[in-house]
Structure 1
Amino acid sequence: MRSSSPSAGPSRRDVLRRWEEDDVWACVYCDAAFGPMVVAEADHITPLAKGGVHELFNIAPACAGCNRAKSDLDMSDWLRVLAGQLDTDCDPTVTR
């Protein structure tokens, strides 16, 4: 019998493994390469705060700076922000 509670979604390890399999090793927003100084974070394309789900199809690899700057903006709003300014104040070395 199936549980009526929703799945917790993929773990961080599952997400990182998927990105590794897909050769995704840079922030989707600023193209900063992930490594010791730039940590990959899971950005929810449709924010959880706005009804998004914690599933692989709704998670994009982002650096800490971009993930914090995007915050709970919808993808369409975030892309408008990026298009409207050259400097997004994104510092990929920030690991707050």
Structure 2
Amino acid sequence: MRAPEPPHGPSRRDTLRRWEEADEWSCIYCDASFGPMVVAEVDHVIPLALGGVHESFNLAPACADCNRAKGDLDMSDWLRVLAGQLGTEREVTVTG
């Protein structure tokens, strides 16, 4: 079951299509290329839970692993998590 779209701002489908057409088709955090093995998701850079908005300037393409790991972390906390993962391999979850 898909999560409902927030009431305002661009739709998930339109956002993903725009990024794909603009060749921004990889995770902004880990640079994984999207395709059958890596699912593209829409991340709220500033999480809605922390006062972020569902507008284009606050949306970024993220793989499912990064989006789930980031959760509701603010960017400074998330960057610390990523820095701790430098030099380690991350698993990519296959869905479908």
Do both proteins adopt the same fold according to a TM-score greater than 0.5, normalized to the shorter chain?
yes
The secondary structure found in structure 2 opposite 1:78 is: helix
Per the alignment, in what secondary structure is the counterpart of residue 43 of structure 1?
strand
Number of aligned positions between the proteins: 90
| TM-score for both structures, normalised by structure 1 | 0.81
- CA offsets, 1:44-92, max 9 Å, x none? 0000000000111101100000000001001121012111232677433
| Identical residues among aligned pairs (%) | 76
Is there any run of 5+ residues in structure 1 with no aligned partner, and where? 1-6
Q: Quote the RMSD (CA, aligned, Å).
A: 2.1
What is the distance in 1 between the residues matched to 2:79 and 2:94?
A: 21
Matches within 5 A, 1:25-40: 25-40=25-40
Counterpart residue identity of residue 39, structure 2? V
1:22 paired with 2:22, answer yes
* TM norm structure 2: 0.81
Alignment partner, residue 66 of structure 1: 66
